Amino acid sequence: MKLTNLLLGLALAATTMSSACAQTLPQPQKQGGMPLMQAVNDRMSDRDLNPNVSITNQDLSNMLWAAWGITHDGKRTVATALNKQELDIYVITAKGIGRYNAEQNAIEEVASGDFSVLAGTQEFAQKAPLNIAFVANTDKQAQALFQGYAAGAASQNIYLYCASAGLKTVVRASFKAAELAAAMKLGANQKILFVQSVSH
Ligand SMILES: Cc1cc2nc3c(=O)[nH]c(=O)nc-3n(C[C@H](O)[C@H](O)[C@H](O)COP(=O)(O)O)c2cc1C
């Protein structure tokens, strides 16, 4: 093998290893889907999750945008008190933990490795191919009521997207809070409110 090819191969391998879950997402699909009232009717919690099939990047992009994407004048798909925009959304998969960057439509890597076992206390959640954590930035919004409103609205949008896309989901208050926060490298001003599991 030529030296240049070897170096290129090593560089590619290093990139892959250092960005196990970092990625630019496909553009979210903002049109189509199930009629809204049908999705509202079909929304439900489902714990019979399929651990074996990954969520596609297109579904991931769509549901993250529905949860916390940017719409009008830099504002979000959900209302926040005084437009504080206090949420951060993290994704936890077998590859690692990432943070949703709505401006860049990307996942920024936080940690490499499988921390899914920390994302729940129930077995179905620990084995889910995707867990989404709603994190409040308490510097931006100190009031738990308002934080909970934002996370609940974002969660509902994921429920509606999943109903429309034929995916299963359940939001949970049960997760290994301290260990998950450590794995997510959260600051003292960041609090995990809920975790939502998603599967086919
Ligand atoms: C704040 C909150 C916390 C929840 N925590 C859990 C949980 O830890 N584990 C679980 O299996 N379901 C959890 N759920 C799901 C509820 O059990 C579920 O929404 C409820 O049974 C109603 O069912 P539905 O969502 O299908 O309407 C939670 C729901 C909410 C809103």
The string of pLDDT tens digits covering residues 39-83 is 999 999 999 999 999 999 999 999 999 999 999 999 999 999 999
The number of beta carbons lying within 10 Å of the beta carbon of residue 103 is 8
Q: Is the CB of 173 under 6 A from ligand 1?
A: yes
- Say what the pLDDT of residue 20 is: 58
Region of poorest pLDDT, from 10-19, 62-71, 179-188: 10-19
Residue 149 lies in a domain: yes
Longest dimension (CA), the chain: 61
The pLDDT score that the predictor gives to residue 97 is: 98
Residue 48 forms part of a structural domain:
yes
Q: What is the pLDDT of residue 117?
A: 98
Range of the domain at 30: 21-199
Number of domains in the chain: 1
Residue of the CA atom closest to atom 20 of ligand 1? 45
CA of 54 to the centre of ligand 1 (A): 23
Name the H helices within the chain.
3-18, 36-42, 57-68, 123-126, 144-165, 177-183
Q: Please check whether residue 10 lies inside any domain of the structure.
A: no
| pLDDT value for 16 | 37
17: confidence class by pLDDT, cuts 50, 70, 90: very low
> What's the whole-model pTM score?
0.92
Return d(Cα 140, Cα 143) in angstroms, integer.
Answer: 9
Q: Could you give the angle at the alpha carbon of 27 between the alpha carbons of 26 and 30, nearest 5°? A: 135
| Ligand 1 geometric centre to CA of 24 (Å) | 31
- Which residue is closest in CA terms to ligand 1's atom 14? 172
User: DSSP 3-state assignment of 50?
Assistant: coil
- Tell me, using a 6 A CB cutoff, whether residue 171 lines ligand 1: yes
Average pLDDT over residues 16-25: 67
Residue 24 pLDDT level (bands cut at 50, 70, 90):
very high
How far away, in angstroms, is 170 Cα from ligand 1 center?
6
Quick check: 162 pLDDT over 50? yes
Q: Report the nearest atom of ligand 1 relative to the CA of 174.
A: 8
Q: Which tokens belong to 163?
A: 């109903």
d(CA 77, CA 66): 6
Query: Which one has a higher pLDDT value, 2 or 124?
Result: 124
pLDDT higher for 7 or 161? 161
Q: Is residue 4 part of a domain?
A: no
CATH number for 28: 3.40.109.10
Distance 165 CA to ligand 1 centre (A): 20
Is 153 inside any structural domain?
Answer: yes
Q: Is the Cβ atom of 45 under 6 angstroms away from ligand 1?
A: yes
Q: What average pLDDT does this structure show over 124-129? A: 98
Residue 33 C-alpha to ligand 1 middle, in angstroms?
Answer: 24
Question: Under a CB-based contact definition with an 8 Å cutoff, are residues 171 and 196 in contact?
Answer: yes
DSSP string, 140-174: T---HHHHHHHHHHHHHHHHHHHHHHT-EEEEES-
Is 142 inside a domain boundary? yes
**Residue 163 included in any domain:** yes
In a domain, 11, yes or no: no
pLDDT in the model for residue 22? 83
What is the residue-averaged pLDDT of the chain?
Answer: 92
